Amino acid sequence: MSKPNGKILITGGDGLIGSALIWALNERGRDDIIVTGLLGAGEKWKNLVALRFEDYLEADRLLECLDSPRLADVSHIFHLGACSDTTEKDCRYLIENNYEYTRRLAEWSLAHGKRFVYASSAATYGDGSAGMRDGDRDLELFRPLNMYGFSKQLFDVHAKRHGWLEHIVGLKYFNVFGPNEAHKGEMRSVVHKAFEQIRQNGSVKLFKSERPDYKDGEQKRDFFYVKDAVDATIHLAFAPQASGLFNLGSGIASTWIELVTPIFDVLGLPRNIEFMDLPANLREKYQYYTCADISRLLATGWSGPRFTLDKAVRDYVGQYLIPGLRLEPASREVSVP
């Protein structure tokens, strides 16, 4: 991967998608990267240990440093940092972190001619009754089911009203899973949680269905491996013809049973799935079906996912969870063609 312009700034670089993005850029010969994050007292720093980047800046200092020499040579901004907890109840906190911060960073990027790519979310679609079509045609019709989705929707609508979507790229990630997510706690993917359950108990618990048109465990989601997610993210960032909102998913809806079955296979255990009642606080917010329409993404020239769900789960469990590893570039030598 050549260096067409300047350096790369990645916010949220210590998170699941952010650290995987640094890994993917390293694999392509890029280490001219400035990373921001909120490492705190947890274990997220471990996501960055094996990765190559030029500079690190705590996220709460980024806005005050925008016009400093440290960021003068940045040409591409991947804004992935946010509060992604779908159960967060402090709406003011979410607005400040997910809307205000994004708006200020986007304004600066546009004013200085920098490529701005940011994480929206499939949570903006709510229950899916208004469809899950990307672009901005149906944007005002969506009704998010939680404060997190609302905070993301606010910026999408703001960007449309000010004409920004003609110049920037918004990414509506679906159910992304993969290495470097252990720090997410309850927000970890079901693959990570199920792996721990199966390894400890030989079984996994999934939610029962409360709808007659879906059997237990056959509720469907668009599960998207993080290696494919960052491949699509990089493609859109460096595709000059790409602008606006894009769904980032596999384009295939799979059941929870299909998701956890490869875990049993990799561990060499018989499938043992138990079903439990859906908690009362989730019943009105639970999605029974999600599937990303990725036709706009494919139309930009992206070749599509490299991993089927089965292959992705086997790669994640076999190469990372069982040995307890994080993402690490294949080579420590930087070679830019």
Q: Could you tell me the domains of the chain?
A: 7-174+225-249+293-305 (3.40.50.720), 175-224+250-292+306-337 (3.90.25.10)
Distance set, CA 31 to CA 51, 69, 159, 233, 285 (Å): 9, 18, 30, 17, 41
The whole-number pLDDT of residue 335 equals 41
Are residues 188 and 197 in contact, defined by beta-carbon separation less than 8 angstroms?
no
The whole-number pLDDT of residue 245 equals 98
Active-site pick, 99, 148, 316, 320: 148
Name the one residue in this structure whose structure tokens are 């769900």. Answer: 309
173 is catalytic: no
Active-site pick, 46, 93, 184, 286: 184
288 is catalytic: no
- Separation between Cα atoms, residue 203 and residue 60, nearest integer Å: 42
Nearest to 171 by CA among 234, 108, 111, 265: 234
Give pLDDT < 50 ranges for the chain: 2, 334-337
- Separation between Cα atoms, residue 190 and residue 273, nearest integer Å: 13
- Separation between Cα atoms, residue 220 and residue 257, nearest integer Å: 9
Q: What is the CA radius of gyration of the chain?
A: 19
The whole-number pLDDT of residue 39 equals 95
Name the one residue in this structure whose structure tokens are 């769904």. Answer: 247
